[in-house]
Structure 1
Amino acid sequence: MAALTKNHGVRFVDVGEDARTVQVPDFSTITIVATAEEANPAIFPLETTVHLYGDEAEKLAKLGDAGELSPAIDDILGEGVSPSILIRRIEKKTTRNEQLGAVIGDPSDRTGLWGLLDARAQTTVRPGLILAPGYCNDSPIGATQATITDQGSGYTAATVTFASPGAQVVPKGTAIVQGGKVVGVQIDDAGFGITGAVTMTIEGDGTGAAGTVATGPVANPVALAMSAIAKRLLAIGICDAPNLGRVEAALWAERLKRDNGRYLYAIDPAVRRFVVLDGSDDTILTRPASTTVAALFAKRDRERGGPYWSPENQTSSAIVGTARPVSYYDGEIDHEANFLINAGVNTFIEGKELFGSETLSNDTNWRFVNKVRTENAIRASLPAALRKWRGENFTAHNALMIVKTIEYFLEELVSLGVVVGYTRYFDRGLNPNANMRQGILRIELPHENTPPISDLQIGMRPYLAAFDVLASDIQQALGNLTPVTGTY
């Protein structure tokens, strides 16, 4: 071909590219952020993500007994699985509020949970299931509303200052000035670790403005951070609810329901486990349920071959019961298990069986955790497979191979029963010439992930025709017996 560089002789030229096979990464690695004060710092340094497997007993022994990491791993291994595990050890703090702050960490410094964003780069392993056992269950007290009791006069500008002795983070807000008066205060930061009353002072070039501050429970900050991080990592955060009662669990869940809530799976109540303790009497302890649930997620993934199925309907191999009874009755709706599910909180029924596939999403399309994990798998897998065409010439053939790669992958997911159906098309209106000139190609991929069976309804009604069957059976049984006439 004259268009190619001139050559005298024989040579090989790579032509035409075929569609690629999509490889789905592992989404089952259990990732734990917690304390371990006695851990060997050479093996488990602070604020460093370390990868290991559940059967590396010698390395696990170096975690020591103190803190939450070692018992969390024991909980997981007690379910009869030996999964891939990522550990991130954080510093032990004095107060609960400081400890919550250490678990969350700093997004700029990549500490605490935020450090998991670097986990794959540091270990080559993708966090799939994220835990912070025992740190998601409370609802810290924060400023919920500022009420102006006196608007004052003569203001062109004003600032508001909050005070709350003992608070780890004091609330912050902005004064709203209109017509020379302070007509309201917007709370910009609800604060954190508030233990007493909150007061506010309004200052400016006017006089007389004053108000009061109401406090109340706010969304758990560890769970919120976990949801944001899980979204970035295409993972699922497993959160322990308050372990107080169904109403408390429902209120806790309602505060967390939001767009990123689709990446959170909540569980309540806590569980009971028989624990072998070094140097003291073995006993039955109350433990966070999130570790047990994570093990059941990983177990189902390994049994089925991927992250596309709900973990529910599995029985725990290690818990001896739940921290409080949860009522459940087959065929009825008036029981605590159903109440919790309707609130977005999963539970254990009969003291051992995982019940529920709910996320904390405020969008019903992402209500079920297996649909979210299927979507995570699609969004994590396709870009890697399609990367081959980055930098290739924008031709119809290459566009076709991109579409074929998508088709082959989605067809396999349909065959597995984890995607109900899909379509794909090239929308000319979304691919104007100006975009294509810049190398921009957009392919539409509408699809529907398979939901679990959640509400199995069986319609019950009388069936009069059944007596026709009965009559036929009677006639067949009696054979040729005919009515007898005569006198007796």
Structure 2
Amino acid sequence: MAALTKNHGVRFLDAGEDARTVVTPDFSTITIVAPADEANPSIFPLETNVHLYGDEADKIAQLGDAGEIGDAIDDLLSEGIAASILVRRVEKMETRNEQLGAIIGDPSDRTGLWGLLDARAQTLVRPGLVISPGFTNDSLVGATLVTMTAQGTGYSQATATFASAGAMVVPTGTCVIEDGKVIGVQIDNAGIGIVGAVTCTIAGDGEGATCTVATGPAANPVALAMSAVCKRLLAIGIVDGPNLDRTAAGLWAERLRRDDGRYLYPIDPAVRRFAVLDGSDDTILTRPGSTTVAALFAKRDRARAGPYWSPENQTSSGIVGTARPISYYDGEVDHEANFLVSTCGVNTFIEGKELFGSETLSNDTNWRFVNKVRTENAIRASLPGALRKWRGENFTAHNALMVVKTVEQFLDELVALGAVLGYTRYFDRALNPNANMRQGILRIELPHENTPILSDMQFGMRPYSPAFDILAADIQRALGGYDAITLAA
């Protein structure tokens, strides 16, 4: 061929390419972000992703007894699994507000939860299930609205000073002045951890301006940060509810429900586990449910060799009950477990041991079930690696076909597994204009439907009169020769 370089002799050329096999990464590594102030810093440095397995007892012992990480690992191991675990230790802080801030971290500095974005590069392990036990349950109260009760007169400048006894952080705000009047106060910082009334005093070169301050709960900031991080990681964050009552759980969940809520699996109430502490101190502890749930996710993944199924209906081996009783009755609608799942979108435990619910905190019903989200995560995480082979190859019809064949083979397998109900794929010419293709852009449409769980099994119950025909026939067979004439005689 004149188009190829000349050669005198024998050589071997790669004459064609075939579709590539797609390899699904592991989504079962449980990732804990929390303080552990007695940990050995040489093994578990602050703000560092460290990978370990549940059977590395010597390494786990170096976490010490203080802080949340050691207890969380005990919760995981009590479920009878030797899990793959990522630990990210944050600094132990003095106040609750500071501790939440340390766990959230800074997205620019990659600290706290945001540091998990570097986990795969640092450890070669993908964070699949993310927890921060005991730090996602708050609904922190802050200032929500300043209402002017009098605008005053003669102001060219004014300062708003907020006060609230016992607040972790006192709100701040800026006066808005127009025509010598304070027409409003803009809340710059809503404050946090407010436990009582908030007052606001206006001082300046005018007089008479007064206002009142309304307060209200806000979405848990750790859970919100976790949802954003998990979106980047294609992971699931398991978040603990307030552990108060069903109304509080529903309100807590509603504040978190949003687009990225599909990456959060909520659980309420807390659970109870028997813990061996130091000799006579053995006792039953109240523990965040997220650690137990993470273990059940990992257990189901290992049992079925993939992340495509809900962890629901598994019974816990490590808990002795829940922190408050949750009513449940088979075949009935009116019980607390159904209220939590169906009304609030909050998963729970029934009968003190069985995981009940497959809900996420998505505001899009298409991503209501956690198994659908994890299946989508697996698809989006798996395909790029397999399709990397075609990046940089010439844009030909054959190579485009091989890209599609690679996708087809993977989705065919997911359909066979029952993880995807069905799919189609096509080349839309209108979405592939010449100008785009000239720049090497290929767009393939890939509509598909991930398999939902079986959530609501309904049976239409009604009388069935043909059953009496069956009964009559049975009677005739039983009576044998006792026909009507014989009976009359």
TM bucket normalised to smaller = over 0.9
Matched, 1:427 2:428: yes
Distance verdict in 2 for CA 1:153–1:427, change over 3 Å: farther
Is the contact between residue 168 and residue 192 of structure 1 (CA under 8 Å) also seen in structure 2?
Answer: yes
Moved more, 227-236 or 154-163: 154-163
Give the equivalent residue in structure 1 for 2:224.
224
Distance verdict in 2 for CA 1:485–1:118, change over 3 Å: closer
User: Match for 2:277: what amino acid?
Assistant: L
Q: Distance in 2 between matches of 1:404 and 1:159?
A: 66
Distance verdict in 2 for CA 1:7–1:329, change over 3 Å: same
Q: How far off is 1:389 after superposition?
A: 1.1
Q: Number of matched residues? A: 488
Q: Distance in 2 between matches of 1:455 and 1:350?
A: 19
1:440-459 superposed matches below 5 A: 440-459=441-460
Q: Distance in 2 between matches of 1:411 and 1:257?
A: 33
TM-score normalised to the size of structure 2? 0.94
Matched, 1:361 2:362: yes
User: Match for 1:475: what amino acid?
Assistant: Q
1:350-389 superposed matches below 5 A: 350-389=351-390
Give the equivalent residue in structure 1 for 2:256.
256
User: Match for 1:56: what amino acid?
Assistant: E
1:142-291 superposed matches below 5 A: 142-151=142-151, 162=162, 164=164, 167-171=167-171, 184-185=184-185, 187=187, 189-200=189-200, 210-291=210-291
Distance verdict in 2 for CA 1:7–1:209, change over 3 Å: farther
Q: Distance in 2 between matches of 1:96 and 1:202?
A: 30
Q: Distance in 2 between matches of 1:4 and 1:240?
A: 64
Q: Distance in 2 between matches of 1:153 and 1:340?
A: 52
Give the equivalent residue in structure 2 for 1:411.
412
Give the equivalent residue in structure 2 for 1:37.
37
Moved more, 202-211 or 387-396: 202-211
Q: Which runs of 5+ in 1 are unaligned?
A: none
User: Match for 1:314: what amino acid?
Assistant: Q
Q: How far off is 1:12 after superposition?
A: 2.5
Q: Distance in 2 between matches of 1:101 and 1:357?
A: 29
Q: How far off is 1:146 after superposition?
A: 2.3
SS in 1 for 2:149: strand
Q: Distance in 2 between matches of 1:435 and 1:202?
A: 59
Is the contact between residue 164 and residue 170 of structure 1 (CA under 8 Å) also seen in structure 2?
Answer: yes
Distance verdict in 2 for CA 1:170–1:396, change over 3 Å: farther
User: Match for 1:47: what amino acid?
Assistant: E
Is the contact between residue 250 and residue 344 of structure 1 (CA under 8 Å) also seen in structure 2?
Answer: yes
Give the equivalent residue in structure 2 for 1:340.
340
Moved more, 458-467 or 211-220: 211-220
TM-score normalised to the size of structure 1? 0.94
Distance verdict in 2 for CA 1:159–1:369, change over 3 Å: farther
1:73-112 superposed matches below 5 A: 73-112=73-112
Q: Which runs of 5+ in 2 are unaligned?
A: none
User: Match for 2:465: what amino acid?
Assistant: L
Distance verdict in 2 for CA 1:9–1:349, change over 3 Å: same
Distance verdict in 2 for CA 1:458–1:173, change over 3 Å: farther
User: Match for 1:458: what amino acid?
Assistant: F
Distance verdict in 2 for CA 1:189–1:21, change over 3 Å: farther
User: Match for 1:5: what amino acid?
Assistant: T
Distance verdict in 2 for CA 1:422–1:160, change over 3 Å: farther
Distance verdict in 2 for CA 1:374–1:187, change over 3 Å: farther
Give the equivalent residue in structure 2 for 1:299.
299
Q: How far off is 1:434 after superposition?
A: 1.0
Q: Distance in 2 between matches of 1:191 and 1:431?
A: 51
Give the equivalent residue in structure 2 for 1:395.
396
Q: Distance in 2 between matches of 1:474 and 1:178?
A: 95
Q: Distance in 2 between matches of 1:16 and 1:155?
A: 80
Is the contact between residue 158 and residue 204 of structure 1 (CA under 8 Å) also seen in structure 2?
Answer: yes
Is the contact between residue 276 and residue 283 of structure 1 (CA under 8 Å) also seen in structure 2?
Answer: yes
SS in 2 for 1:386: helix
Give the equivalent residue in structure 2 for 1:132.
132
Distance verdict in 2 for CA 1:184–1:78, change over 3 Å: same
User: Match for 1:384: what amino acid?
Assistant: G
Give the equivalent residue in structure 1 for 2:55.
55
Q: How far off is 1:179 after superposition?
A: 7.8
Moved more, 166-175 or 380-389: 166-175
Query: Identity of counterpart residues, as a percentage?
Result: 78
Moved more, 276-285 or 257-266: 276-285
Q: Distance in 2 between matches of 1:421 and 1:174?
A: 56
Is the contact between residue 230 and residue 236 of structure 1 (CA under 8 Å) also seen in structure 2?
Answer: yes
Distance verdict in 2 for CA 1:213–1:470, change over 3 Å: same
Moved more, 242-251 or 168-177: 168-177
SS in 2 for 1:334: coil
Q: How far off is 1:34 after superposition?
A: 1.2
SS in 2 for 1:345: coil
Distance verdict in 2 for CA 1:184–1:456, change over 3 Å: farther
